Amino acid sequence: MRTRITELFDIDYPIIQGGMHHVGFAELAAAVSNAGGLGFITALTQKTPDDLSAEIDRCRAMTDKPFGVNLTFLPTVNPPDYGAYIEAIIGGGVRIVETAGNEPSKWMPLLKDGGVKVIHKCTTVRHALKAQTIGCDAVSVDGFECGGHPGEDDIPNMILLPRAADELDIPFIASGGQADGRSLAASLALGAEGINIGTRFIATKEAPVHDNVKQALVDATELDTRLIMRPLRNTERVLNNAAVERLLEKERTLGDAITFDDIRAEVAGVYPRVMHDGDVDAGGWSCGMVVGLIHDIPTVAELVTRIVAQARDIIDKRLPVMMS
């Protein structure tokens, strides 16, 4: 399959793995890249830039295919040493970076001087246009369906992707609601040049998370996600559980007076307990509505092969018959 995304990143299929916190380790990134997609290590899951360098080396030992690093610029008073993380990325020979959170204009000169191609994750067309203006090579356009942070405008992909196609010159990737060949074919039809898969890749054999997490995704339906932290304008789509229900009750009770400290027990330090220890009820953890389309736990290669075959069947066989 050839699109501007496959050509930009020298990959076989326009399938990209999301940079997920405490999921995007070398094992998963290498498996996705080896299957013909583009895997991503999550930088800030690594406690230090030196740890990231070691993780890049681990990934390079597992694949000779291109892979990238996700780097999220957090809106925080005490930010990580982003310059050192970028130096670790460049020093490790990685030439693809997905940025998220705050727009990365401050760091673009350092990234570009290092020969890095930048994808920026956006939830609105206006943010995507800003990313284009500052020199990003591509953007990942996240619809309201996505797991994690969908922004505050609540625009689903059936609207957001065509709007992005109307406005952007650089290629964009569809993120949110991506699970199978139907997702890929639909996203390409709406103007995207590829898809970004997050939640679906967690439920694979190579994903370095506890089996309880994978089974929770298989057991859930599209009705089992919730939006938390809306009053704080830091909305996150998560899998529902008892801790999430407690958090939502606090939001209902406290309203606009709520602070992060009020919900700290349900969100702070949750990911290691969920992903590593398998305590799926520890708090709120990102999960997309696409969970309703997850019914098994294949290998990454099996999943990618299935996605590509189904998309080709739709594009080459089903749609031509309908149009004849």
At residue 98 the predicted structure's pLDDT band, cuts being 50, 70 and 90, is very high
Residues 117, 90, 119: CA angle, nearest 5 degrees? 25
pLDDT at res. 74: 85
Please write the tens of the pLDDT for every residue from 116-152.
999 999 999 999 999 999 999 999 999 999 999 999 9
- Which letter, b or e, does each residue of 59-98 get, where b requires 16 or more Cβ atoms within 10 Å of its Cβ? beebbebbbbbbbbbeeeeeebebeebbbbbbebebbbbb
Please write the tens of the pLDDT for every residue from 151-182.
999 999 999 999 999 999 999 999 999 999 99
What value does the mean pLDDT take over residues 70-81? 88
What value does the mean pLDDT take over residues 55-67? 98
- List, in order, residues 6 or more apart from 283 with CB less than 8 Å away: 241, 243, 244, 247, 265, 266, 267, 268, 270, 273, 274
pLDDT at res. 323: 84
Task: Determine what percent of the chain is predicted with pLDDT higher than 70.
Answer: 100
Side chain identity, residue 234:
N
Report yes or no on whether pTM surpasses 0.85.
Answer: yes
pLDDT at residue 212 is higher than 90:
yes
pLDDT at res. 75: 77
pLDDT at residue 268 is higher than 90:
yes
pLDDT at residue 324 is higher than 80:
no
pLDDT at res. 71: 98
| DSSP H stretches of helix in 35-107 | 49-62, 82-91
pLDDT at res. 220: 98
Query: What are the Cα distances from residue 5, in Å, to 73, 96, 131?
Result: 23, 12, 16
CA distance linking residue 324 with residue 305, whole number of Å: 28
pLDDT at res. 137: 98
Domain residue extents for the chain? 4-208, 221-286
What value does the mean pLDDT take over residues 293-320? 97
For helices 82-91 and 49-62, what crossing angle results, to 10°? Answer: 30
Please write the tens of the pLDDT for every residue from 233-250.
999 999 999 999 999 999
CATH classification for the domain delimited by 4-208, as one of 3.40.190.10, 3.30.1490.190, 3.30.750.24, 3.20.20.70 = 3.20.20.70
In the predicted model, what is the mean pLDDT of the chain?
Answer: 97
CA distance linking residue 98 with residue 66, whole number of Å: 13
pLDDT at res. 72: 96
Q: Which of 278, 247, 252 is nearest to 264 (CA)?
A: 247
Q: Which of 9, 14, 7 is nearest to 311 (CA)?
A: 14
At residue 298 the predicted structure's pLDDT band, cuts being 50, 70 and 90, is very high
